[in-house]
Structure 1
């Protein structure tokens, strides 16, 4: 969990900038090195540049990638936006994930380029504004949530093991009806399954249990989220939270959580009293948001593409583990 200080930007002109996270199917992404003669020459960054007057963000991205790399975008979707203050300017970086393009990728400014793997960055220095994006690239598209109290512990463990074998890498243990001793045993068994796959396991609500079992982090309920002090030393790894509205999203952002889930997008059995947001409102709420967001509520693998088109990191699902 990061604790980045959000600058006071009310009186500071903001330069709008687009940046492309160009992805290959195997997860590699492109970094380019700023050429001599530019500010921060020698630093590595995601390709992109300043949005000119009258340009849409996507048009600016298309222009920058053509000018810098000689490629045309076929398919890109909005992702994360972050404000960062350098010595010379305050910039708002609008990151897009570019998953399909055409053309012969050629560094037209004689800049160095390299393909990197999220957990094995081999170049430095990297522009500091890009640090949180590198962390977000480590997050997978699926955030699974357990429901062992509903289907039984042994079946749940079988489903989790099968899902891990098939690529699951992020899991939340959410068992509100389970007795604590039984829950601790369940957590330890899940962690034993997850460790060989380097999958991350978060505990819903219970910081102490996460510490005791050495889980990878804590997922806060929305009510917990709104009661946490910004000065609180949470003292654990990953931090995430459930959000349902703009106020909760803002609070998670101010606390510097690693990611959030937002929903319910569609009707869901786990939150029967909450009206669904729908995709349009979901997209509106996360437009320009600085944290990775998982869409929650009635999600299945069929919804992953539309969730990412709306700007989400991916989907969170309780009944899609198997």
Structure 2
């Protein structure tokens, strides 16, 4: 029997049902205290996912700041309290669960008129207990795509955007012969569960690239997928795409975000300097590579999961792991702080797995 991508329990690109017992993955966020004159609030937040891909949210009491709005469970970090201890304490107090391990996912900051909030987001890879509203707060399990129906504090906007990123970021191969062949491959991949696609082909001229990008854009819009162009940012609107992917060698060419906030800006990074550049440009997410040895760059030494985790811990941006990745690597990637994996061969070369049918 051939498998759908959506049959892998860690693929969250589309809403789906999963069989078997419910297990949860958690993301946490925490802010840091500063000596700035404006009050900086330190908060620990946890996001729980069940096997259907739903995330846990809770409603704030009416009498507190941002009262009545929905949020990801958590609370303030005490003065001089270690971050990990705050995470454990807050989730135990609010949800009745004991957190055993977590991996760093992202960091974001928001300025209110009366305070500043810096959120550090972690994924919880192991916890004990059943989720209960210990303070009688209303809780709900919601698909990420449906979170827009709930009112959240502005500080949570970046987390909400990140939750809409799928576990797999597919990158097109360049060995197709015609645009029709390319569209058939992409259509098949979308049917298998791919919802975020980078169109990458450096072997064709701009005019041909634009023609093919427009065809892919029409296809992706019709099937509910998002298309990212690995080309000049100016082509994005021209082709009707959803964003741009910046190669690491071009990061220094920009002094500000090359597209408005409603577009995705992704970037390839291999070191701390490139990650800092991507952050300064307001990148939506980054690709960190190479995690494993690749056929395309056999002489490049991979950084391994330790190297990925080290680079990731110094960056506040959501990150995909790239380099020798396969579908089976996604769970390990998430345990090491990645949103998921970026793949070329892992998506297109497994011809034995026709993921359009079970």
Scaled by the length of structure 2, the TM-score of the pair is 0.78
Offset, 1:185:
3.2
Which deviations, in whole Å up to 9, do the C-alpha atoms of 1:114-165 show, x marking residues without a partner? 22222222555412111100000111011111113x2434554443222111
Is 1:255 aligned to 2:281, yes or no?
A: yes
Conserved in 2, the CA contact under 8 Å of 1:82 and 1:289?
A: no
Is 1:197 aligned to 2:197, yes or no?
A: no
The structure 2 residue matched to 1:135, chosen from 158, 161, 176, is: 161
Is 1:299 aligned to 2:325, yes or no?
A: yes
Cα root mean square deviation, aligned: 2.9
> Match for residue 152 of structure 1?
177
Higher mean alpha-carbon deviation, 217-226 vs 153-162, is at 153-162
Conserved in 2, the CA contact under 8 Å of 1:145 and 1:171?
A: yes
Conserved in 2, the CA contact under 8 Å of 1:159 and 1:321?
A: no
> Match for residue 61 of structure 2?
35
State the SS of the aligned residue for 2:44.
Answer: strand
Alignment of 1:266-305 (within 5 A): 266-271=292-297, 274-287=300-313, 289-305=315-331
Conserved in 2, the CA contact under 8 Å of 1:28 and 1:117?
A: yes
The structure 1 residue matched to 2:211, chosen from 185, 193, 197, is: 185
Distance 1:199 1:231, change over 3 A: closer
Higher mean alpha-carbon deviation, 57-66 vs 299-308, is at 57-66
Is 1:223 aligned to 2:249, yes or no?
A: yes
Conserved in 2, the CA contact under 8 Å of 1:307 and 1:315?
A: yes
Distance 1:31 1:307, change over 3 A: same
Distance 1:91 1:175 in 2: 40
Offset, 1:283:
0.6
> Match for residue 188 of structure 2?
162
Aligned length: 315
> Match for residue 264 of structure 2?
238
> Match for residue 50 of structure 2?
24
What residue ranges of structure 2 are gaps of 5+ in the alignment?
Answer: 1-32, 349-358
Distance 2:253 2:306 in 1: 29
Distance 1:211 1:123 in 2: 28
Conserved in 2, the CA contact under 8 Å of 1:35 and 1:109?
A: no
> Match for residue 14 of structure 2?
none
Is 1:116 aligned to 2:149, yes or no?
A: no
Alignment of 1:35-114 (within 5 A): 35-52=61-78, 56-73=82-99, 76-87=102-113, 89-98=115-124, 102-114=128-140
Distance 1:276 1:126 in 2: 40
State the SS of the aligned residue for 1:284.
Answer: helix
Scaled by the length of structure 1, the TM-score of the pair is 0.85
What residue ranges of structure 1 are gaps of 5+ in the alignment?
Answer: 1-7
Distance 1:207 1:233 in 2: 7
Higher mean alpha-carbon deviation, 82-91 vs 31-40, is at 82-91
Conserved in 2, the CA contact under 8 Å of 1:23 and 1:99?
A: no
Distance 1:9 1:75 in 2: 26
> Match for residue 13 of structure 2?
none
